[in-house]
Structure 1
Amino acid sequence: MGNRNLSANLKELKTARYSKLIHASKEAVICIDENGKYILANSSAAKIVKAKSPKAITKLPPWSLAPKIQTSTNMDNQQMIEYYSIKLSESPNGVVDFDFQMKTLPGEIIWVHMWATPLMLNGKYATQLIFRQIAEPTGKSMKLSSTTVNLNISDSSETSVNSSRNDVSEFYGEDTEKHNENQYQNSTVTTESEITQHESNEPKSEEKKINVIVNTQRQNDSQIFVSSRPSKNQTQTFTSDSTDLNSIIEKIDSQIRDLTSEKTKLIQYQKLMEKYTKLNDEIQEKNSNLSKLQTELDENRRTIQSLNSKVETMETKLKKSKQKKQVLETKLEDSQKEANKQKNEVKRLTNRLKIVEEAKQNLEKLI
């Protein structure tokens, strides 16, 4: 199979096929977008969080199942996106696992061990969360195989088996379908340490491992890779086509990991730029408010100066009025004195006139 056909088949792989594989898994799987919205879940996840159905999970508010994330320090939900971005960029395989405190729909707080893997769904950045309920946090890493999720397809659901087989054969070609025809069994997502235990409890002749390699690519195309692998106790003779295919997938996987790291750094840079822009806007707004306050202060100062000037003018007028009052009071006193003087003079003249009248009368009597 040539590189051109491989590229074409990769682009033709739809999100619906990935969804079928997730729903076929007995292990809990939830996919979230970069805002914490639940966009995909399976029945196992619904059972753990005690939801009526997987669809009920997708209707929950963002981050409602995650009260806080447990690392060396507790982080609230607002720090969760930064946590994923940093940890995924640090992980060489694009997978980070950690103990996590989850909230069920009834409100119960439980512990789970979670694997977070970046991927693209419908051309948008998302995170695949695979989780197992645990009694208490251990702080120990439980490794998946590189960036793979091991899915065993169960015979109890013939439709799921045929659908998954058709997806694989259409993706890789008819030769792969013939080679894998008798190897599909039981749906469960397991770690490598638990695959061995599962194999000891299940008939080895009925087992089939399908690795779904899910990685985030910086480009708009959604890249979901599916490869076939035998169990530990089985052997397989690879054809030249399958060898070339594995080599190509390894190269693409390496390139995508690099792109994932670059995209994570770009996301972090974009967030820093958003914070910088927000802070710059706040500073400009505060400077604008400060300028307005300064203008108001200047106006108030001018008003106060004007009022002080008016007060000084009024005080000057009041002083002049007081001086005029004093002058008028002095004149009034002088007028009163003059009036008293005139009154006394009138009284004196009246007395003299009276004396003259009496003298006149006496004179007339004598005559």
Structure 2
Amino acid sequence: MILRTFGWSFAVTAAGLVAAFVYDQGTGLALVTVLAILEISLSFDNAVVNAKVLDRMSPFWQKIFLTIGIAIAVFGMRLVFPLVIVALTAKLGPIEAFDLALRDEKAYETAMNAAYPTIAAFGGMFLLMLFLDFVFEERDVHWLTWLERPLAKIGKLDQLSVVLAGGALAVAASLWAKDPGEVMIAGVLGMITYILVNGLGELFAEAGLDEVEGDEGEEKEKARSGGPSPLALATGKAGFFLFLYLEVLDASFSFDGVIGAFAISTDPIVIALGLGIGAMYIRSLTVFLVRKGTLHEYVYLEHGAHWAIGGLAVCMLVGIGHHVPEWITGGLGAGLIIAAFASSVVRNRNEGEADAPKDKQLHSTGV
């Protein structure tokens, strides 16, 4: 299963490292390796959240995510997106922006850093809305019970996530932004994107549930209870919007990695190779989590990933005016995921010990 799931990642790694060595000898090889590790560490929580969404998609849309989605993630967000940002901020054409990246790496880095406040506002608000909607939702299982239960109770107030996200954006723009107007516009667009994509996904998901009838009643109830859903199979539209949601989510996560990569290299080819390899492993890890049923077995992983998303959203908003070191954003996400995994292991062990006496008693009575 490892080779089947990670086979393409291994192949892309080999090809990428060879290309890096040909491009810039040992220096290129070392930089691409470091960037790949950076991308994986910064985006591990992304894989956990992706797996939760991918679990609801049909095999067809899962394949689309692993083909077209990879092309968008690797080439679109890791290579084309930085060039587009530089082209817009420096008022250059795409070819001129690429030429600038190769000729004057310092100017290219300066242009990217100048655009970061608006990027951070858009991505930060998208991720913050995702985090708030999660913690304000009533659920049966809680990880940080002392905090998640009160948050779920106050989350009954309608549109509270929008109110808090809008307030956070206003504070960040007024305190830290050099151009508050641009930051506010970008942040509002991030909120609108989240509400629109998430809302359309839920709309077609509900339509798919309504179409499941007769003998499929059991599957219908399974979907409503949070298990793998037949929605994409029912209409196709739900699968499309879940795919679109995943791509926007991945883009929001990749902002931090792309900007952080400039601390290691400003060469767009090196950045694209390193982050592209890392993105492949995130995709493979997402599929691995789905196929192994890890999220169902380790129930707190989803909680840890969303708290990591909340932490990343805060870091991005703070990053509008102050540089947040990459080791903080990466370490925060990895730390919360590890803590959630450890808590899940302890929970499973305790439940196993609680069930053991019952099993032993049944065995002794011959049942």
Output the TM-score relative to the length of structure 1. Answer: 0.23
Structure with the greater relative contact order (CA < 8 A, sep ≥ 6): 1 or 2? 2
More strand by share: 1
Output the TM-score relative to the length of structure 2. Answer: 0.23
* Higher Rg of the two aligned structures: 1
